[in-house]
């Protein structure tokens, strides 16, 4: 739509805030009202509230099912009510394992029993709460008692196993030890089990978030030798949420899978440990020295093994259904009560969770408080705004997933967009989401001031991008997984955003007992300036979506971005072809063997199957057709439309994202419906765009790749038809 | 010359040895004779000799001036004599500092006195020789007694100081601590002094050659926590050799500079230490955390400082003239006694020097033994072969430099080429040198079998290159400095080569007390197979040069290579221009400040001077003219030339490389005459090709750059004229 198209052009250049006073989606008469409202909103945001609420909400550990977690939910409910929201707590009953037995010992060559306990530190009384601190473990590890030789597998991701294969090292029947990072943690036991390992240990190497990165807690923000990252290892790339109720809400009486049949519990036991506990294990390994890029920051030579180190890993969990309390607060829209703008952040934490998630939650609460206050004073939103505080995000996005599954039809009918936040810090705006919202987010980012530098958060982010070698152009990243937007966008096909600041708040506290208020105040966002900025950005987005005359979806930017993904997939295929051709030539000429050191392990590589040429034309043709349709849509001057037509267009715009899904979902994971974005099957949180096609290619399943090209082409056609329908309204 | 040009083409492809029986430089009737001779030579090479001689020569420490060093020289002399060489020892009297006082202490915040002593290890009796082991120090550090705050400067190279500048950190009045590697060690104190530091400590970080790389000695080959790399810090990029006799031989009665006027002694005291001694110092630093790429492998957070760590460094040396014994062994040529093929390797070591230099020296000796034996049986070389065992290489290429300076005129008259070796190990052939010799070296490398893989050393090297992403094409690297070829090629303009095997023999023993026979036998070249291969490659090259009908210089490859250097310099200039333009745009838009973390040190960058356009046309024109001249020369069928003409051509070919020098030498370092290759003024060993032009550009001295373009153009013209003179003989 041409409507406010000018502002889009301006937003693409480094612009001053004063130049940013034109916004997409409003008629000239309503634009000023909206900007005045947003200004009033911004002015009322108070950092002191965030600070005070963080102290309240992170005072005690509050993982799902805890007494303090329930208290937090009830306190949040109370706040929303006091601010004028129609508020309820929706409760789900979800499987949650609590660690009963955690034993890890090195049995050979010299015995060592892992301590599995982080130490309290001076100056942080929260770390002294002893038994109240959740023991370190990986939720949804299976029970197990295994003993075997140890193998170091670097990050434990697919390319690490390729390297092991080259060295002729097999993990079958072994226990692997993998570093945290390099992928979402759940990929490590999943892949290890696929390769035949019988146990998995994950540790935080000091190179990744310990002393190599900076001074350790309490001197600095990074992980001391005893810190352990907790976290879920549920197979979320298959489906997130309650493991026993795939695809439907875990209500009290829901039919549940038998636990032994739950496909998303790991196949092998897995335990996270500190680098203090990892060092004796790693030091006891012999065999090949690990490749350069695998080596961490411990003062040892990293060997791969297998053995002579042998370890014994014994894990037992108390598997119970726990209540998950989702707080849902609704502010009814005056004009379009059945069009909902949703906004959410989880409230459960692994331990105190000052950063994750409370820093994001307090921003959401402050935003809700002011929106509520403005409404009380008569500045009510035209559309309904729904604020959510999710429970049980940490063990696997459970609270949000169950709620979305439970209300799926209504949500698909009513929700304009879901805007998510989670832990927040100091630095640069990170924004991911549906690319039809990029222009709007770009405009908002140009309107909010950076609390440190006196320019817009957009300018600051673009500056950082340029310093890092980028072009300094604002853009949304594509969403994979890792927070509560997943059930909305991936499963229900609802347009979604995920927002947060960071980049100047590094630390090693993530999911440890050190993610506390004192740590946050010293190292994250001491003045809560970025907490307020987050409330400002997310609040303005929420208000614009709630009040827009024409919903600010824009498809040219979407088309540019998705065309880029298609180019990327085609180029990757070409690169694979070139690499295989080169590899096979080198195998034929025996080059690998000639270059190999005969004193070191070496497995002679074999020829690889040649990469066939895929027919990408269906996708290219659909993208070309879409371009024409979108150009027509965006060329229309909607300011001249009748109110009736406008409302019709809005009704259509709300559901546009859903036409990018396919009911069958992705191969082997039908829960994931979206055809443009998905978390990678072997990356976890990391996104795969055009996932059906891309992952089939990456897995070299050419038949499936061609099938998925057809599926995606038909999805794109469906999207095209849908926009054509809007064009016919114009 | 078309002569054997076919073999060059064949050599460029992966070829089998049987296809490699055509060699450049011989008439058809003499070619077979030469190949038979080389075969006979190869057959007689015996690994057992190398093993036995290494045990003899590395039994005790033998740095310049030691009793054992003298014994080695005399023993080498005796061997050459026994093999029929006319042998002498040429003695020079060279300044050599022995460490009297070495004190390094951390005085604040907690005292620590550096141990400065490597420990003896089990299984290696050579490490127990106590006082006989030369204390660890850097030769040609000045005396000094300084106390100041410490600053960590990474590798202490120019780009590290640029980073410090960005952080607003000044080393003026401070003592710097730099890691070994990243440049030749002498650059570190040189640059530190230029920046105003008053002392310099150099240490070996475990990430570079300690436990991060592999198991440490004696379990593995790498540097244990006590090992210290000795080494010269003389300002060799200004001139190598005796510091008191620049440009002329340090004969007994030579006129000598006063030591205080010697420009190549460091301006500030400098001492190398182990990582055990470095850790307390580095751990005591505060201030900015070092950038990611600066961080080493110690289990600490690397901070930059300055301070609060304060150190006290006190060094005193016993400055004495020591005799340096160059062993010179001559085998007179039958046909052209005044045309010399020279071959050298040094014999002095920092401690035992089993690898450096004895592994290369024993290969040279075995080569000389067999060449001598063949001569005794009547297969005498047509040209004179001169074998040299240099003394005092370690403190600054002193033995070879003094000898070359002392005999410069005769050498420039007579020497066809100088072929250097130094420490040798297991792995792949490394070859650097004058590119007019590339075709010949390529042919030889195709004739010598790799001792592990049953293909030619060339094929194996090309395979490694391909596995590492290269094209697998054999080529000579350009020579900078670091061994005894420097006075020959850089100063006298004599064509030179440097040869050695390596890449599968990593370790941390370099210049430590652990460079011993047991270490060598376990980790370097246990069977001396690569010692024999080195004798084979160097011996065949020596014999081909000695017996060739037409000396195997070839200029098309030279032209291709040097054209590549010119392209590179022009492209680098463009890149600099783009980078400055981008930088200035970002300064103008305040991008750096906007992107910077306000809680961290930041110095606002200023605009840089724009890069002017240089006139490279004189070089492009000369290279174009040269191409035509060289094409004419190489197109001639020299097999049809009369013997008289051939001899004339040979006489000219011998001196061709000298026309690539300029009498004035490089700016600020007239000792360096060669205009195509030089060690970098700020890299040390690392080569700078087209050094006059390239370094002026790198230093942004545009006036000098344009002047040096003129100088280089006139040198190229001189070379062109010289080849035209050869063409007129054809």
Residue of A nearest to B460 (CA): A594
Residue A20 pLDDT greater than 50, yes or no: no
| Cα–Cα nearest to B352, from B132, B536, B159 | B132
B253-297, pLDDT tens digit by residue? 999 999 999 999 999 999 999 999 999 999 999 999 999 999 999
The 8-class DSSP code of residue B17 comes to G
Chain B residues close to A300, C-beta within 8 Å: 211
Alpha helices in A508-636 (DSSP H): 517-523, 529-547, 555-588, 591-595, 617-635
C-alpha B532/C-alpha B529 separation (Å) is: 5
B288-329, pLDDT tens digit by residue? 999 999 999 999 999 999 999 999 999 999 999 999 999 999
Residue A643 pLDDT greater than 80, yes or no: yes
Classify A41 in phi/psi space as left (phi over 0), alpha (psi -120 to 50) or beta. Answer: alpha
| Cα–Cα nearest to A505, from A534, A541, A476, A479 | A534
Domain ranges of chain A: 21-94+322-431+476-550, 97-320, 556-729
Residue with tokens 């989401």: A433
Q: Assign A640 a pLDDT band (cuts: 50, 70, 90).
A: confident
Tell me which of A15-19, A141-145, A713-717 is least confident: A15-19
A660-692, pLDDT tens digit by residue? 999 999 999 999 999 999 999 988 889 999 999
Contact check, Cβ <8 Å, B299/A299: yes
What distance in Å separates residue B598's CA from the closest CA in chain A? 7
Residues A97-320, CATH architecture = 3-Layer(bba) Sandwich (3.50)
**Rounded average pLDDT over A690-707:** 97
Residue A245 pLDDT greater than 60, yes or no: yes
Its CATH class, for the domain covering A556-729, is mainly alpha
Could you please report the per-residue DSSP string of A88-134?
A: EEEEEEEEEEEEEEEEEEEEESS-EE----PPP-TT-GGGG-GGGSP
Cα Rg of chain B (Å, integer) = 26
What distance in Å separates residue A278's CA from the closest CA in chain B? 14
Residue of B nearest to A454 (CA): B594
**Please, are residues A250 and A205 in contact by the beta-carbon 8 Å criterion?**
no
Residue A13 pLDDT greater than 80, yes or no: no
B3 or B29: whose pLDDT is higher? Answer: B29
What distance in Å separates residue A552's CA from the closest CA in chain B? 29
**Rounded average pLDDT over A9-26:** 54
C-alpha A38/C-alpha B627 separation (Å) is: 72
B490-544, pLDDT tens digit by residue? 999 999 999 999 999 999 999 999 999 999 999 999 999 999 999 999 999 999 9
The 8-class DSSP code of residue B478 comes to P
What are the angstrom distances between the C-alpha of B350 and each of A40, A407, B124, B146, B241?
Answer: 76, 78, 17, 26, 16
pLDDT in the model for residue A622: 98
**Please, are residues A61 and A132 in contact by the beta-carbon 8 Å criterion?**
yes
Could you please report the per-residue DSSP string of A4-27?
A: THHHHHHHTS---GGGG---TT--
Fold of A21-94+322-431+476-550: Aminopeptidase (3.40.630)
Query: What is the percentage of chain A residues whose pLDDT exceeds 90?
Result: 94
Residue of A nearest to B286 (CA): A215
C-alpha B347/C-alpha B325 separation (Å) is: 9
What distance in Å separates residue A166's CA from the closest CA in chain B? 13
Q: Please tell me the number of Cα atoms within 13 Å of A21 on its side-chain side.
A: 9
Q: How far is CA A308 from the centre of its chain?
A: 38
Most B CBs within 10 Å: which of A282, A294, A595, as the mutation test of the B interface? A595
- Among the partner-chain residues A427, A467, A593, the one whose CB lies closest to the CB of B592 is A467
**Pair of tokens at residue A423:** 């832990």
Q: Assign A21 a pLDDT band (cuts: 50, 70, 90).
A: low
Residue A344 pLDDT greater than 80, yes or no: yes
Q: Assign B637 a pLDDT band (cuts: 50, 70, 90).
A: confident
| Cα–Cα nearest to A614, from A694, A679, A528, A672 | A694
φ/ψ of B384, rounded to 5, equals: -75, 135
B423-444, pLDDT tens digit by residue? 999 999 999 999 999 999 999 9
Burial of residue B265 (number of CB atoms within 10 Å: 0-12, 13-18, 19+): buried
**Rounded average pLDDT over B547-558:** 97
The number of beta carbons lying within 10 Å of the beta carbon of residue A263 is 12
At A704 the three-state DSSP class reads: helix
A582-633, pLDDT tens digit by residue? 999 999 999 999 999 999 989 999 999 999 999 999 999 999 999 999 999 9
Residue A177 pLDDT greater than 90, yes or no: yes
pLDDT in the model for residue B439: 96
With b for 16 or more beta-carbon neighbours within 10 A and e for fewer, the A308-323 pattern comes to ebbbbbbbebebebbb
Residue A264 pLDDT greater than 50, yes or no: yes
Contact check, Cβ <8 Å, B595/A463: yes
C-alpha B485/C-alpha B540 separation (Å) is: 19
What distance in Å separates residue B38's CA from the closest CA in chain A? 25
Contact check, Cβ <8 Å, A595/B467: yes
**What was the ipTM of the complex prediction?**
0.93
Chain A residues close to B211, C-beta within 8 Å: 299-301
**Rounded average pLDDT over A523-548:** 98
CA angle A340, A343, A344 (to 5 degrees): 135
Residue A502 pLDDT greater than 60, yes or no: yes
**Please, are residues A304 and B304 in contact by the beta-carbon 8 Å criterion?**
no
pLDDT in the model for residue B21: 58
Most A CBs within 10 Å: which of B222, B453, B463, as the mutation test of the A interface? B463
**Rounded average pLDDT over A100-110:** 97
Tell me which of A346-360, A628-642, B17-31, B79-93 is least confident: B17-31
pLDDT in the model for residue B9: 34
B706-717, pLDDT tens digit by residue? 999 999 999 999
Give the pairing type, strands A310-331 and A144-152.
antiparallel
The number of beta carbons lying within 10 Å of the beta carbon of residue B469 is 7
Residue of A nearest to B522 (CA): A599
Residue A83 pLDDT greater than 90, yes or no: yes
**Rounded average pLDDT over A268-274:** 98
B640-663, pLDDT tens digit by residue? 889 999 999 999 999 999 999 999
**Pair of tokens at residue B108:** 């604040």
What string of H, E and C letters represents the secondary structure of B419-438?
A: EEECCCCCEEEEEEECHHHH
pLDDT in the model for residue A198: 98
Residue B2 pLDDT greater than 70, yes or no: no
Contact check, Cβ <8 Å, A463/B598: no
From the candidate CATH numbers 3.50.50.60, 3.50.30.30, 3.30.420.10, 3.30.70.120, the one assigned to the domain spanning B96-319: 3.50.30.30
Contact check, Cβ <8 Å, B220/A586: no
**Rounded average pLDDT over B45-52:** 98
Q: How far is CA A279 from the centre of its chain?
A: 30
- Among the partner-chain residues A460, A594, A598, the one whose CB lies closest to the CB of B594 is A460
**Pair of tokens at residue A392:** 């049980």
**Rounded average pLDDT over A703-721:** 98
The 8-class DSSP code of residue B230 comes to -
Average pLDDT, chain B: 95
Query: What is the percentage of chain B residues whose pLDDT exceeds 90?
Result: 94
Residue B684 pLDDT greater than 90, yes or no: no
């Amino acid at each position: 739509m041409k409507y406010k198209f000018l502002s889009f052009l301006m937003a693409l250049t480094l612009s001053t805030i004063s130049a940013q006073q034109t916004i997409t989606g409003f008629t000239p008469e309503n634009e000023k009202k909206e900007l005045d409202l947003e200004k009033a909103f911004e002015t009322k945001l108070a950092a002191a509230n965030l600070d005070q609420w963080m102290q309240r909400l992170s005072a005690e550990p509050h993982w799902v099912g805890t007494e303090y977690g329930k208290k937090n939910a009830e306190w949040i409910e109370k706040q929303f009510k006091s601010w004028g929201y129609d508020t309820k707590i929706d409760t789900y009953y979800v499987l949650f394992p609590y660690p009963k037995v955690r034993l890890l010992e090195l049995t050979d060559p010299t015995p060592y029993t892992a301590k599995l306990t982080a130490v309290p530190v001076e100056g942080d009384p929260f770390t002294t709460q002893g038994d109240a601190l959740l023991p370190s473990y990986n939720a949804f590890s299976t029970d197990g008692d295994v003993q075997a030789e140890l193998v170091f597998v670097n990050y434990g991701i697919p390319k690490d196993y390729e390297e092991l294969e080259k060295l002729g090292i097999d993990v079958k029947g072994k226990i692997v030890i993998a570093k945290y990072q390099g992928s979402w943690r759940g990929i490590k036991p999943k892949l290890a089990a696929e390769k035949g390992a019988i146990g998995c240990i994950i540790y935080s190497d000091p190179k990744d978030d310990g002393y190599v990165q900076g001074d350790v807690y309490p001197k600095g923000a990074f992980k001391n030798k005893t810190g352990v990252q907790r976290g879920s290892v549920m197979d979320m790339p298959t489906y997130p949420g309650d493991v026993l109720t795939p695809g439907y809400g875990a209500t009290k009486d829901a039919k549940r899978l038998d636990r032994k049949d739950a496909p998303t519990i790991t196949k092998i036991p897995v335990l996270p440990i500190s680098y203090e506990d990892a060092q004796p294990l790693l030091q006891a390994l012999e065999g090949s020295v690990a490749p350069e890029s695998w080596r961490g920051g411990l003062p040892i030579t990293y060997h791969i093994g297998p053995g002579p180190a042998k370890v014994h890993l014994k894990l037992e969990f108390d598997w119970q259904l726990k209540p998950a309390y989702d707080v849902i607060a609704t502010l009814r829209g005056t004009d379009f009560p059945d069009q909902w703008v949703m906004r959410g952040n989880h409230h459960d934490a692994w331990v105190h969770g000052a950063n994750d998630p409370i820093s994001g939650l307090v921003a959401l609460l402050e935003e809700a408080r002011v929106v509520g206050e403005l409404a009380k004073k008569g500045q009510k939103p035209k559309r309904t705004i729904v604020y959510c505080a999710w429970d049980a995000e940490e063990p696997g996005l459970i609270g949000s997933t169950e709620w979305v599954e439970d209300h799926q039809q209504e949500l698909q009918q009513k929700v304009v967009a879901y805007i998510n936040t989670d832990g927040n810090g100091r630095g640069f705006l990170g924004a991911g989401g549906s690319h039809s919202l990029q222009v709007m987010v770009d405009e908002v980012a140009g309107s909010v001031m950076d609390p440190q530098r006196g320019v817009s958060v957009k300018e600051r982010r673009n500056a950082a991008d340029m310093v890092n070698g980028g072009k300094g152009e604002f853009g949304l990243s594509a969403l994979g997984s890792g927070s509560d937007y997943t059930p909305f966008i991936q499963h229900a096909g609802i347009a979604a955003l995920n927002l947060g600041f960071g980049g100047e708040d590094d630390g090693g506290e993530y999911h440890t007992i050190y993610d506390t208020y004192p740590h946050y105040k010293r190292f994250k966002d001491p003045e809560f300036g970025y907490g307020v900025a987050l409330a400002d950005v997310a609040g303005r987005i929420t208000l614009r979506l709630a009040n827009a005359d024409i919903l600010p979806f824009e498809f040219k930017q979407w088309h540019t971005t998705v065309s880029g993904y298609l180019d990327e997939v085609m180029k990757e295929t070409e690169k694979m072809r070139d690499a295989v051709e080169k590899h096979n030539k080198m195998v034929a000429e025996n080059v690998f063997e000639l270059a190999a050191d005969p004193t070191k392990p070496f497995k002679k590589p074999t020829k690889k199957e040649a990469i066939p040429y895929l027919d990408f034309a269906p996708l290219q043709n659909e993208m070309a057709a879409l371009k024409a349709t979108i150009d027509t849509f965006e060329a229309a001057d909607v300011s001249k439309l009748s109110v009736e037509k406008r409302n019709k267009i809005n009704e259509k715009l709300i559901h546009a994202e859903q036409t990018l899904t396919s009911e069958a979902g992705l191969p082997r994971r039908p829960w994931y419906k979206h055809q443009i974005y998905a978390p990678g099957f072997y990356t976890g949180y990391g996104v795969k765009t055009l996932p059906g096609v891309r992952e089939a290619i990456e897995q070299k399943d050419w038949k499936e790749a061609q099938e998925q090209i057809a599926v995606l082409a038909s999805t794109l056609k469906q999207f095209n038809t849908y926009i054509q329908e809007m064009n016919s309204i114009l």
